[in-house]
Amino acid sequence: MSRSFARQVAIAGIGATEFSKDSGRSELQLAGEAVLLAVKDAGLEPADVDGLTTFTMETNSEIEVAKTAGLGDLTFFSKIGYGGGAACATVQQAAIAVATGVADTVVCYRAFNERSGHRFGSGAHRGEPTSEGIAMGWVSSFGLMTPASWVAMFAQRYMHEYGATSADFGLVSVADRKHAATNPKAWFYQQPITLEDHQNSRWIVEPLHLLDCCQETDGGQALVVTTVERARDLPNPVAVVSGAAQGSAQGQQSMVSYYRDDIAGLPEMGLVAKQLWAQSGLGPDDIQTAVVYDHFTPFVLQQLEEFGFCKRGEAKDFISGGNIELGGGLPINTHGGQLGEAYLHGMNGIAEGVRQIRRTSVNQVPDVENVLVTAGTGVPTSGCILSIDQ
């Protein structure tokens, strides 16, 4: 099998705004117009676009451009560093994504008011706020300023729609801390909690208690990825990547996607789930243990629903009776999660997935074949499935 994307992809459309010294409109509008013109030139519809690449210096995030231009759900989005050095790399990353089937239609874009707005040559920053800044201003200027408060807004609506309670959220915390209690590397080693402890912990942002919120951590975590063939020649049991996917769903915002028809679910994680099941040929019944992103407890329930471990609104029943603890039907976060082990933006969870495949976890689940690992929730997200080498 060829490992090259050469001669497998093409540039099918191009589009640009006029080039001027004063565009008279926002950078977001310039990006949106250019993307739409390129899509039109290619003879496609905005909804056909499922991937975006741009520069880390771009002020218009992929999700703001997708929302503004009415693009489809995104399964690939990527920013590349180093100023103008990123230009052809946007094409390279798009090509990799298309050649491997991660996305079908990727648009590469870059837009700015570099002359009339912030001139790179001018040093000090002034002028128009970025579209990302404006998006955050809609919440921060009303006193909604912390991650806990952003998540709490979703949680309140989820409770209202499905009758979940704070005690249901507490079950996640109790399970994580139980697993952390037997993990010497965990911050909360030998410090399990009860549901009563959770309920008695002080409010951070109603309806979230202190024990619904993960800790903050200093640390690092890294992973090495290579071919399966090569991995077989290396010392450790092979953790095969059976699937890996990104998701950014329509109406996506960063932590505050409050303007969609339904805010009691996590459609971006649903998009990840759909891809992972398709890529791996697996389903919920094939997963023995999962590392479910847990910066705040409520989103763990929605993720279990989006992956189909249970129906919408039924996660509160699924997680009861110790089902997500070691010995239950789907033990989650066997390292203690970010609530119990450490908050490393989910990277420590991938490592625990590898340990479960290697059968070296301190809280080893018997007969593990496939582990699901998910990434940050409330934002454009990702997930992967790790499997034993058959």
Partner 1 sequence: MTNSAALIAEARTHLGGPPGPLRVGRDPVNLPMVHHWCQALDDQNQAYLDEEFAAETRGHLIAPPGMLQTWTMDAPRGAELMGSNDHVNRLLDEAGYTSVVAVNYEHEYVRELQHGERISVRSSAEDLSEEKKTGLGLGYFTTVKHEYLTDDGEVIGIGRMRLLKFKPPAAAPEVGARPTPAIGRDNQFFWDGVQAGELRIGSCNACQTLHHPPQPICRACGSTDMGHTVSTGKGVVYSHVTHHYPKLQGVELPHTVLLVELEEGVRLVSEWATAAKPETTYVGQQVQVSFTPVPGGELRPTFTAVS
With CB under 8 A as the contact rule, which of the stretches 97-105, 200-208, 326-334, 382-390 interacts with partner 1? 200-208
- Select 160 or 359, whichever has its Cβ closest to partner 1: 160
Q: Which of 13, 42, 48, 70 binds partner 1 (CB under 8 A)?
A: 70
With CB under 8 A as the contact rule, which of the stretches 62-70, 85-93, 164-172, 286-294 interacts with partner 1? 62-70
Could you tell me how far CA 115 lies from the centroid of its own chain? 35
- Select 89 or 139, whichever has its Cβ closest to partner 1: 139
Tell which residue, 257, 44, 110, has the closest CA to residue 270.
257
Residues annotated catalytic, as ranges:
293, 343
Q: Which of 53, 68, 166, 173 binds partner 1 (CB under 8 A)?
A: 68
Considering only residues 230 to 269 of the shown chain, the ones binding partner 1 according to CB under 8 A are 256, 258-259, 263
Residues touching partner 1: how many (CB under 8 A)? 47
Site pattern 22..61 for partner 1 (x: CB under 8 A) = ---xx-xx--xx--x---------x---------------
Q: Minimum Å distance from CB 338 to partner 1?
A: 19
Tokens representing residue 206 in the block: 């109603």
Q: Minimum Å distance from CB 157 to partner 1?
A: 4
- Select 214 or 282, whichever has its Cβ closest to partner 1: 214
Considering only residues 205 to 234 of the shown chain, the ones binding partner 1 according to CB under 8 A are 205-207
Say whether residue 203 binds partner 1 (CB under 8 A): yes
Could you tell me how far CA 208 lies from the centroid of its own chain? 21
Tell which residue, 240, 266, 246, has the closest CA to residue 371.
240
Considering only residues 285 to 344 of the shown chain, the ones binding partner 1 according to CB under 8 A are none
Taking phi first (over 0 means left), then psi (-120 to 50 degrees means alpha), and beta for anything else, what does residue 303 get? alpha
Tell me the DSSP string of 306-335: HTTSS-TT-HHHHTGGGTTSTTSSS-B-TT
Say whether residue 163 binds partner 1 (CB under 8 A): no
Report d(CA 198, CA 194) in Å as an integer.
7
Angstrom CA distances, 12 to 4, 38, 130, 231, 253, stand at: 20, 8, 29, 37, 28
Report d(CA 241, CA 243) in Å as an integer.
5
- Asked if residue 86 lies in contact with residue 30, where contact means CB atoms within 8 angstroms, the answer is no
Q: Minimum Å distance from CB 82 to partner 1?
A: 27
Measured in residues, the chain has a length of 390
- Select 85 or 137, whichever has its Cβ closest to partner 1: 137
Beta-carbon contacts of 50 under 8 Å, excluding residues fewer than 6 positions away, are 71, 72, 73, 74, 75, 76, 103, 104, 105, 106
Site pattern 118..157 for partner 1 (x: CB under 8 A) = ----------xxxx-xxxxxxxxxxxxxx--x--xxx-xx
Q: Minimum Å distance from CB 141 to partner 1?
A: 4
List the strands of the sheet with 106-108, edge to edge.
Answer: 76-80, 51-55, 106-108
- Select 36 or 386, whichever has its Cβ closest to partner 1: 36
DSSP assignment letter at 53: E
Report d(CA 190, CA 27) in Å as an integer.
52
Q: Across the strands, what pairs with 371?
A: 289, 386
- Select 65 or 291, whichever has its Cβ closest to partner 1: 65
- Select 91 or 204, whichever has its Cβ closest to partner 1: 204
Q: Which of 50, 67, 268, 300 binds partner 1 (CB under 8 A)?
A: 67
Residues within the interface to partner 1 (CB under 8 A): 25-26, 28-29, 32-33, 36, 46, 67-70, 128-131, 133-146, 149, 152-154, 156-157, 160, 202-207, 256, 258-259, 263
